[in-house]
A and B are shown apart, each in its own frame.
Chain A
Amino acid sequence: MEPVLLKRIDIPGMAEIETAVANGAYANLGKGLGMKPADLLEMVKASGLRGRGGAGFPTGAKWGFAAADPKTPRYLVCNADESEPGTFKDRPILERDPHLLLEAMILSGHAIGAEYGFIYIRGEYADAYRILARAVDQAYAKGFLGKDIQGSGTRFECVVHRGAGAYICGEETALLESIEGRRGQPRNKPPFPASVGLFGKPTVINNVETLANVPFIVEKGAAWFKSIGTEKSAGPKLFCVSGRVNRPGVYELPMGTPLRALIKDVCGGVPGAKRIKAVVPGGVSAAFLGPEDLDVTLDFESVAAAGSMFGSGGVIVLDEDDCIVSATLNIMRFFKHESCGKCTPCREGTYWLYNVLHRIEEGGGRAEDLALLLDIADNISGKSCCPLADGAISCVVSSVKKFRTEYERHISEGGCPFAAREAGAAKA
C-alpha cells in the first residue's frame, strides 16, 4: 500500500508552514470548504471511516449526531492524549506533520458546523505541544485559521490544550472535564458529548489519526478509502509495534493486515528466532492473544472475534522467555495508578488485583488465588462508569485463561520461573 497518512512524514521541516504548503498541506481545503457541510459529512459517512482512538465508532455517524443538534456553538475536539501503553502512532503526525492535523480539523469542523476546535495533547508530549502551538500560530498568520479561512467564508479557531499527566484524560468525557479545568474524571453517559459535550454544547471528539484521514478522503473520495482494508474496517491504519521484534516502530498498513505478517515480515520477526508467547494487539486494555491466535487479521471484527480488541493499534509482542505474570502485573500496576477513583469496583478492584498478582509473582501465591483473581475481575466487569475498568481486567482474565499453567508454576515453585531473565535485566 502507498503510504497515505505518513506519506510526508520523512520530509524535513514539515512542521514549518511554507514547507508544508509546498508539499501539499492545506491543498484540500479549497475543495472541502467549497462543499456543502452536509455533502462533506455524507462523504465521510460513505467512506466507512471508523475511530482510530480505540473504540472504532463510525466517524460519519458520530458527526451526524452533533451536526443535527441545534445548540451552538458546536465544538470539535481532537484527542491527542495518546497514553494507552504500547501506542505511539499519533506522535509522528503531531511532531512531523502537524499541518495535516490542522487541515483535517478545519475540514471536519466545516462538516459538523463547528467553528471552534481544541486539541487536547498529553502533558508529557512537550515537544509535540511546542510544535503544534507554533503550527497553529503559523496557520493563523497565513489565514488558514481564523474568521474567514482563505476567503471561503468559513470560520475555524483552534486552541491547543495541554494535559498534565493522567491516562484517564484520554477517555473522552474525562478529557472534556480536563479542558474545562477540572479533575479528569469521566462523566456519566448519557447525555453523550454529541449533544452535551464541551461547555455543555454539542461536541465531536476524534482521535488524531481518525481526523488525519479526512483530507485524503476529500481529495480521493469515499470509494478510494473504502477500497483499502476490509469491508467493515476500511482505510489505512497506523500500527505501532513494540516488545520482542527486530524492527519495532510505526507502520502504515491496510486494515485487515494479518498479525503474523506484521510481526514476521514487517517487523522482521522475534530476535533470536524465539517463539512468540503472547501478543497484546491494541494497547494494554486489549486482552492477550496467544500463539494460537497469530492468524488473526488486524481489523475491528476479527480481533474481537479472537476474544480481544483491535483498540489503538498498539501491538506488544512477548516471547517464550517473558513471564506472563510479570507482564500482567506490570499492566495492573498501570491501571491501579491510573484509575481515577470515581467508582469503587475500579478503584479498589485494581488495587486488589495488583496485590494478588504481586504476591504470585513474588512467590507468595496461594492455590486459591487464580479463582480469586477471576472473582475480583468479575466484580469489576460492567460495574463501573467508564471503559477503563473493563480494559484493566482484560489482561488478567485472558492471561489466567490462556496461561493458567504458568500461574500455577509460580505458585507451586514459590516464585517466578523466568526470574533469571529478569535478574539479568536488572543487573545489566
Chain B
Amino acid sequence: MSEIVFSETAKREIEKILSRYPTKGAALLPVLHLAQEEFGVLTEGVRAQVARVLDLPPAHVEGVVSFYTLFKTKPTGRHVIWLCQTLSCDLAGTRSLLGHLERRYSLKPGGTTADGRFTLTMAECLGGCGTGPAMMVNWDYHDRLTPERVDEVLKKYD
C-alpha cells in the first residue's frame, strides 16, 4: 500500500481546523470531510492516516466513520445520486423516479451504472420536502423532480 499523505494545502487546513477546537478529537469530523475531499474515499489507509494526524486510536476513527452515512469507505461511481425516500418526497413521487432510474439507467438503490458514471443511494429527508421529490448529486441539491427533470439534471454530470 503506497503511503497516504495529505497535500500541503490540506495540512494547513488541518492546522486551521485544530485551532478552532479545545480538543484534538473534536477536529475528527471536519478532518474526515477534508480527507474525503482530498482522497475521494476514506479507505483503510486514509482512516489510519487521519488517526495518526489527530493522535486518535484507529478503532475510534473506524467507529466514527461507520456511524455517519456521508462518509464513504467504498468506491462509488463518479457521481453519487442521493435520492430522498422519506414521506413527503414519497408522496410527491420518489417511486416514479426510482422506476425511471431503473428503466432508463439500469440503476437500482445501492447500484452503480455499468459505465461507472452514477451510484444511486437512497437518502432520508434532505430538507426539501415542500419542493419534493428532492435529491442531491454529490453535494448539489435538486428538487421538483420528474423523470424528465432527472434526465435534464443528470446530463450535467459526465
Given contacts A87-B129, A124-B70, A125-B127, 8 further A-B contacts (CB under 8 A): A124-B136, A162-B30, A280-B87, A316-B129, A327-B87, A330-B86, A330-B90, A428-B93
Question: Does A373 sit at the interface, judged by CB under 8 A?
Answer: no
Please state if A331 and B96 are interface contacts (CB–CB under 8 Å). no
Name B's A-contacting residues (CB within 8 A): 20-23, 25-30, 32-33, 56, 60, 63-64, 67-71, 82, 85-88, 90-93, 95-96, 98-100, 123-132, 136, 139-141, 147
Tell me which of A8-16, A19-27, A244-252 binds B.
A244-252
In the complex, chain B residues whose CB is within 8 Å of the CB of A180: 23, 25-26
Please state if A165 and B23 are interface contacts (CB–CB under 8 Å). no
**Contact pattern, A 75-116, Cβ under 8 Å of B = 1, otherwise 0:** 000000011111110010000000000000000000000000
Ranked 3 nearest A-B pairs via Cβ: A181-B28, A165-B69, A164-B68
Name A's B-contacting residues (CB within 8 A): 82-88, 91, 122-127, 159, 161-167, 178-184, 199, 240-244, 248-250, 280, 284, 314, 316, 318, 322, 327, 330-331, 333-334, 337-338, 340, 422, 425-428
Please state if B29 and A164 are interface contacts (CB–CB under 8 Å). yes
In the complex, chain A residues whose CB is within 8 Å of the CB of B23: 180-181, 199
Contact of A428 among B29, B88, B96, B128 (CB under 8 A): B96
Shortest distance from the beta carbon of B143 to any chain A beta carbon, whole Å: 10
In the complex, chain B residues whose CB is within 8 Å of the CB of A249: 130
Known: A88-B129, A428-B99. A338 touches B25 (CB 8 A): no
Give the distance in Å from the alpha carbon of A163 to the alpha carbon of B67 in the complex.
11
In the complex, chain B residues whose CB is within 8 Å of the CB of A248: 129-131
Shortest distance from the beta carbon of B68 to any chain A beta carbon, whole Å: 4
In the complex, chain B residues whose CB is within 8 Å of the CB of A162: 29-30, 33
Q: Could you pull out 20 A-B pairs where Cβ atoms are within 8 angstroms?
A: A85-B88, A87-B127, A124-B126, A125-B127, A126-B141, A127-B141, A164-B71, A165-B69, A166-B67, A179-B26, A181-B26, A181-B28, A248-B131, A316-B87, A330-B86, A330-B87, A330-B90, A427-B96, A427-B99, A428-B100
In the complex, chain B residues whose CB is within 8 Å of the CB of A428: 93, 96, 99-100, 147
Please state if B139 and A425 are interface contacts (CB–CB under 8 Å). no
In the complex, chain A residues whose CB is within 8 Å of the CB of B28: 181-182
Give the distance in Å from the alpha carbon of A241 to the alpha carbon of B132 in the complex.
12
Give the distance in Å from the alpha carbon of A338 to the alpha carbon of B124 in the complex.
9
In the complex, chain B residues whose CB is within 8 Å of the CB of A124: 70, 82, 123, 126-127, 136
In the complex, chain B residues whose CB is within 8 Å of the CB of A123: 33, 68, 70
Shortest distance from the beta carbon of B49 to any chain A beta carbon, whole Å: 16
Closest residue of chain A to B95 (Cβ to Cβ) is A426
Closest residue of chain A to B56 (Cβ to Cβ) is A181
Please state if A163 and B29 are interface contacts (CB–CB under 8 Å). yes
Shortest distance from the beta carbon of A260 to any chain B beta carbon, whole Å: 19
In the complex, chain B residues whose CB is within 8 Å of the CB of A87: 125, 127, 129
Please state if B127 and A88 are interface contacts (CB–CB under 8 Å). yes
In the complex, chain A residues whose CB is within 8 Å of the CB of B87: 85-86, 243, 280, 284, 316, 327, 330-331, 334
